[in-house]
């Protein structure tokens, strides 16, 4: 959820998202970002999402609402959002699925789908464990 804009504090959007219980991205301003927004907007309810904060702590959440525009997120470039149920505490790094860690290690600033056979099952199992605590 880090902003793709260089004039925005990189992790301000993550802080806002975790505080408000949303997941999202900035304005779609070219064909590639429009496709990313379409994928994000049409992801099924209940889809898992991951993010990292400024300190490298990793959080897992689950989409609970449809896409909407949030003009209140303009300053941090987080205007395309979906309600999200985030686990309130960071996930222990040892429990984060390897595919998730690898995706973050690539350093991109995009909404990405992780295409491995086991990441969804591992995330679902982790979600069940963390959601019971």
Q: Is residue 119 part of a domain?
A: yes
Q: How high is the pLDDT of residue 5?
A: 84
Q: Is residue 88 part of a domain?
A: yes
Cα→Cα distances 13→76, 94, 111, 115, Å: 5, 25, 13, 25
Q: How high is the pLDDT of residue 133?
A: 59
Domain count, the chain: 1
User: What tokens were used for 11?
Assistant: 């992790």
Per-10-residue mean pLDDT of the chain, 133 residues long, equals 82 94 93 92 95 93 97 95 96 93 77 79 92 71
Predicted model pTM:
0.90
Q: Distance between CA atoms of 130 and 133, rounded to whole angstroms?
A: 6
Q: Is residue 3 part of a domain?
A: no
Which range marks the domain in which residue 84 is found?
A: 12-132
Q: How high is the pLDDT of residue 71?
A: 95
Q: Is residue 49 part of a domain?
A: yes
Q: How high is the pLDDT of residue 114?
A: 81
* CA-derived radius of gyration, the chain: 14
Q: Distance between CA atoms of 111 and 126, rounded to whole angstroms?
A: 21
Q: How high is the pLDDT of residue 104?
A: 85
Q: Is residue 2 part of a domain?
A: no
Helix (H), strand (E) at residue 58: strand 58-69
Q: Distance between CA atoms of 110 and 70, rounded to whole angstroms?
A: 18
Q: Is residue 24 part of a domain?
A: yes
Q: Is residue 5 part of a domain?
A: no
Q: Is residue 46 part of a domain?
A: yes
């Amino acid at each position: 959820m880090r902003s793709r804009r260089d004039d925005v504090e990189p992790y301000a959007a993550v802080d806002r998202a975790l505080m408000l219980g949303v997941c999202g991205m900035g304005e779609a301003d070219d064909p590639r970002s429009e496709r990313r927004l379409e994928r994000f907007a049409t992801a099924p309810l209940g889809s898992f999402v991951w993010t990292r904060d400024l300190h490298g702590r990793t959080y897992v959440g689950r989409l609970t609402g449809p896409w909407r525009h949030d003009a209140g997120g303009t300053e941090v470039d987080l205007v395309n959002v979906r309600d999200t149920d985030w686990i309130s505490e960071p996930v222990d790094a040892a429990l984060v699925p390897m595919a998730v860690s690898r995706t973050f290690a690539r350093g991109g600033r995009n909404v990405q789908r992780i295409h491995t056979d086991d990441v969804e099952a591992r995330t679902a199992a982790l979600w069940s464990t963390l959601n019971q605590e």
